[in-house]
A and B are shown apart, each in its own frame.
Chain A
Amino acid sequence: MQIVIDIDDAVPMFNQLINRIKEAVMKNEIAPGDPLPSIRQLANDLEINNKTVAKAYRLLERDSVIQTKGYRGTFIHKDAKANCSVDLNAWVNEKLEQTIGSFRAKGVTDSEIRIAFNHLMNRKSS
């Protein structure tokens, strides 16, 4: 099964890669349990950086679309098809919108929300 990415596309390459793999799963072009190429092989074939493919694989693994089995390689997850439809970005947006809405209803200003959000994010990453 062949995938195509466009290096001039505005969509980042790791996102294109995630979308192509998810499309292949949804169209049954690759089945659960099917092996995927190694990061190095795919990066060399697409003539892109290893880190770009590694990032795409990491996010797909987080979403349980693929799973890594140590030295045996990377495979399509058994629940990949169901997990492909889960959009974590959309879920985060929805949850944040609800939370911000409830703050505003209590009279909290946008500036106060931003400061609190930044404070929490900075604390989390430090």
Chain B
Amino acid sequence: MNLPDNWLLYLVFISQIFILSFYLPRKIVARINYVLKNYSPEEYPKLYPRPVEYFESRRDFFRNFNNFNILLGIGIMFLIIPEFEVGEEKGLQMVPWAYFMIQMIPSMLTEVFSFKQAKMMREANTNKSRKANLAPRRLFDFVAPGLVAVAVAMFIGFAVFVLYLYDFDFSFGGKPMSSILVLASGNLLFIAIIAWNLRGKKLDPYQAYEDRKRIIETVVKSLTYLSIAMSIFMVLMMASSYFKWEFVMPVMMSSFLQIIALISLGTPLQTLPISRIDFDVYKNNQTQELESGNI
């Protein structure tokens, strides 16, 4: 499918390359560099359970993987997309999806790395005193009930819409029930992640309670928005499949994946500015006590 046949797809695909492999990674790398520059291992030893070079190598790997993804995206745009003919959009919609999965690998590895870093911090933590806040963390402390109601209504709306399209076909394995099951599974995963954030173990042993609350709020809000976006996307996909609007599917798929990335990666960058994070908790105990006037 050449540029004149579907210029919109090319435009959206360029945007996918730009947002997921350049714009968001560049922001993440800038954040890592800011921390490495302003919070040195000498002054904030608890932040670095391993030598600083280890963290720099992880940052470089993240940056290089994303640079490779930019080249890969350009390659796909010039070598793979033109191979599809008009009318093959159903297969073509899997190209942005497959590319998205590759684009997300560096972020997923970064997530795994941050879990490992937290584990190393817990192992290095010799402090025998444990702190907890005597207030419960409840869902509606972090998200407006109205927003959750919208997410639930969107899911129900999707289920009713898809059942209506297919004459209320409740057969197990049929198209409507399968898509409802897929969306319900996604939502269940979100619920599990939210529950784990609200009640689960603290990963970073030094993290200030206010920072933890801000992170929980961001996760809860992001996943609620994602649930709404997923319902809208599924409605559009089911409608385009039913009304044979296959030609819009690849554009819709790529746009939706960009929205997912912006919500899941962009929101934390926006709502958790580094200047608001309490880094004093990562200083060594003596420095903390000196600054608080206890020595």
Contacts and interface: CB of A to CB of B under 8 A. Distances in A.
Contacts of B293: none
Give 5 nearest A-B pairs by CB, closest first.
A45-B132, A8-B128, A46-B130, A44-B201, A37-B136
B132 A2 contact: yes
B209 A41 contact: no
A2 B136 contact: no
A33 B130 CA distance: 25
B202 interface: yes
Interface string B200-236: 1110000001000000000000000000000000000
Given A41-B199, A44-B200, A45-B202, A4 B131 contact: yes
B136 A47 contact: no
A7 B198 contact: no
B119 to A, nearest CB: 13
B37 to A, nearest CB: 31
A60 to B, nearest CB: 12
A37 B132 contact: yes
Give the contact-size bracket for chain B: 10 to 19
Contacts, number: 63
B133 interface: yes
Interface of A is mostly: mixed
B130 A5 contact: yes
Interface of A: 1-8, 21, 24, 29-30, 35-38, 40-42, 44-48, 73
A47 B199 contact: no
Given A38-B199, A40-B199, A41-B198, A2 B133 contact: yes
Contacts of A7: 128-130
B128 A3 contact: no
Contact of A44 (B131, B135, B136, B199): B199
7 contacts: A3-B133, A24-B134, A37-B132, A37-B133, A37-B134, A38-B136, A41-B199
B137 A2 contact: no
B134 A48 contact: no
A35 B136 CA distance: 7
A3 B136 contact: no
Given A41-B199, A44-B202, A35 B135 contact: yes
